[in-house]
């Protein structure tokens, strides 16, 4: 009974406020310890930030919208590419909402962008990944101290499967740095259907070129995904047109020969073969024209799907610059304060427990 009363007394608001005041006094009493640990956390966070980005970063930003062709649909939705021909829609869900955030950073998309040939200012063509390696400090800052065998490597192939082991290692090193530290995508306002793609790199021109290249690569992947069924149907229809064209050429040649032979023919049966060939030629011609119109409709429907990405605000020079972020600095300071408070409270609780044991 007495124990229950003690528990009830412990839960009274008065004692709770007394505990809060005691805790506050204890923290203020040990302010020097909290200040020291907060300073240590801040220093560690600042060191991490400075090591993470040693160079000036150039920030490229593009605000864009994902739209489909035809009537109004949900974001990223597309109408049927086959029109009256039938067919199905692509998987528009891959490019809606947060799915788009993931798609842009996937390896297939980044590999395709990095292995795209670009034309440099001197007119020379070069893979973007080599341009990135030559124009940034990734070799010096990330690999120079412990991966010296990576430094002279250049990517010579446009397919990862064709690369040597060392080429793949260098390529993956560049890809992972770009994906993890240099690309961010989000929505500037959740009430709008706009996306904001940001690229932060150590070279102004490289940053601008890559953000435009990356967006165009995602757009091509989107188009290929959405028009996959249409392109398959177009391949089938083109083969049908070619086949009908060959049949039509044969029947027209046979009809011309038969007509020439029958000019001087006297027997009425000679006209039978000519009539059959005439009907066959007319029938094949109708099929050929219908297939040709269908193929043209497919081609036009695919063309109408472009552009799928509408740039609302393009990237412009000069770019915004920053030395490095202070995210880890802030986190280190907060973590230092929390650890200091926990330490002070744990120390006080331990001292009180020892006093209670000695009294017993």
Q: 316-351 pLDDT, tens per residue?
A: 888 888 876 677 778 888 888 888 888 888 887 777
Gap between the Cα atoms of 351 and 332, Å rounded: 28
Mean pLDDT of 31-54: 78
pLDDT over 70 percentage in the chain:
77
Q: Note the pLDDT tens digit of each residue in 147-205.
A: 788 888 899 988 988 999 999 999 999 999 999 889 999 888 777 788 899 999 989 99
pLDDT of residue 69: 43
Residue that the structure tokens 């070069």 belong to: 126
145: phi then psi, degrees, rounded to nearest 5: -85, -30
Cβ–Cβ < 8 Å for 296, 84: no
> Between residues 356 and 68, which one has the greater pLDDT?
356
Q: Which of 192-201, 233-242, 301-310, 328-337 reaches the highest mean pLDDT?
A: 192-201
Cβ–Cβ < 8 Å for 167, 153: yes
Judged on CB neighbours under 10 Å (0-12, 13-18, 19+), 147 is middle
Integer angstrom CA distances of residue 262 from 244, 256, 267: 26, 10, 9
For residue 41, is pLDDT > 60?
yes
Residue that the structure tokens 């650890």 belong to: 339
Gap between the Cα atoms of 48 and 43, Å rounded: 9
206-227: b or e for each residue (b if 16 or more CB lie within 10 Å)?
A: bbbbbbbbbbebbbbbbbeebb
Helix spans in 30-105 (H):
31-52, 98-104
Q: Note the pLDDT tens digit of each residue in 63-103.
A: 988 875 433 333 333 333 333 444 444 445 556 667 788 88
Q: How many CB atoms lie within 10 A of CB 140?
A: 12
Cβ–Cβ < 8 Å for 306, 57: no
For residue 10, is pLDDT > 70?
no
Q: How many angstroms separate the first and last alpha carbons of the chain?
A: 22
Question: Does residue 53 sit in helix, strand or coil?
Answer: coil
Q: How many CB atoms lie within 10 A of CB 356?
A: 9
Of the candidates 193, 188, 189, the one whose C-alpha atom is nearest the C-alpha of residue 309 is: 193
Gap between the Cα atoms of 210 and 133, Å rounded: 13
pLDDT of residue 7: 46
pLDDT of residue 89: 45
pLDDT of residue 265: 54
Beta bridge partners of 194: 65
210 token code pair: 């890559």
Gap between the Cα atoms of 148 and 146, Å rounded: 6
CA atoms 29, 31, 32, 36: torsion sign: positive
Average pLDDT, the chain: 77
pLDDT of residue 122: 82
pLDDT band at 126 (very low <50, low <70, confident <90, very high): very high
pLDDT of residue 53: 61
46 token code pair: 């600042």
For residue 230, is pLDDT > 50?
yes
> Between residues 152 and 52, which one has the greater pLDDT?
152
Rounded to 10 degrees, the C-alpha dihedral 260/264/267/273 comes to 0
Integer angstrom CA distances of residue 261 from 66, 246, 250, 264: 64, 23, 17, 7
Cβ–Cβ < 8 Å for 90, 82: no
37 token code pair: 């640990």
């Amino acid at each position: 009974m007495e124990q229950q009363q003690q528990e009830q007394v412990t839960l009274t608001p008065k004692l709770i406020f007394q505990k809060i005041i005691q805790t506050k006094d204890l923290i203020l009493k040990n302010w020097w310890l909290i200040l020291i640990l907060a300073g240590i956390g801040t220093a560690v966070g600042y060191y991490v930030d400075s090591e993470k980005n040693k160079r000036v970063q150039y920030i490229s930003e593009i605000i864009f919208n994902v739209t489909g062709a035809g009537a109004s649909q949900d974001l990223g939705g597309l109408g049927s590419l086959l029109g009256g021909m039938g067919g199905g829609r692509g998987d528009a869900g891959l490019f809606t909402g947060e799915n788009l955030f993931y798609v842009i950073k996937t390896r297939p998309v980044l590999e395709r962008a990095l292995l795209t040939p670009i034309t440099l200012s001197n007119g020379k063509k070069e893979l973007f990944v080599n341009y990135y390696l030559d124009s940034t400090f990734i070799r010096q800052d990330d690999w120079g101290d412990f991966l010296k065998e990576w430094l002279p490597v250049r990517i010579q192939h446009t397919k990862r499967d064709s690369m040597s082991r060392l080429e793949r290692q260098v390529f993956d090193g560049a890809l992972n740095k770009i994906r993890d530290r240099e690309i961010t995508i989000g929505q500037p306002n959740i009430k709008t259907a706009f996306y904001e793609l940001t690229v932060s790199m150590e070279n102004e021109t490289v940053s601008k070129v890559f953000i435009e290249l990356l967006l165009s690569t995602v757009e091509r992947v989107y188009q290929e995904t959405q028009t996959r069924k249409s392109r398959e149907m177009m391949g089938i229809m083109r083969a049908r047109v070619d086949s009908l064209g060959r049949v039509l050429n044969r029947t027209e040649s046979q009809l011309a020969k038969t007509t020439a032979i029958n000019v001087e023919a006297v027997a009425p049966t000679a006209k039978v073969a000519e009539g059959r060939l005439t009907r066959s030629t007319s029938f094949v011609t109708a099929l050929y024209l219908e297939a040709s119109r269908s193929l043209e409709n497919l081609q036009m429907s695919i063309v109408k799907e472009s552009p799928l990405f509408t740039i609302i605000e393009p990237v412009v020079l000069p770019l915004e610059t920053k030395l490095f972020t202070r995210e880890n600095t802030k986190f280190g300071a907060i973590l230092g304060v929390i650890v200091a408070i926990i330490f002070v409270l744990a120390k006080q609780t331990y001292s009180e427990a020892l006093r209670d044991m000695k009294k017993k």
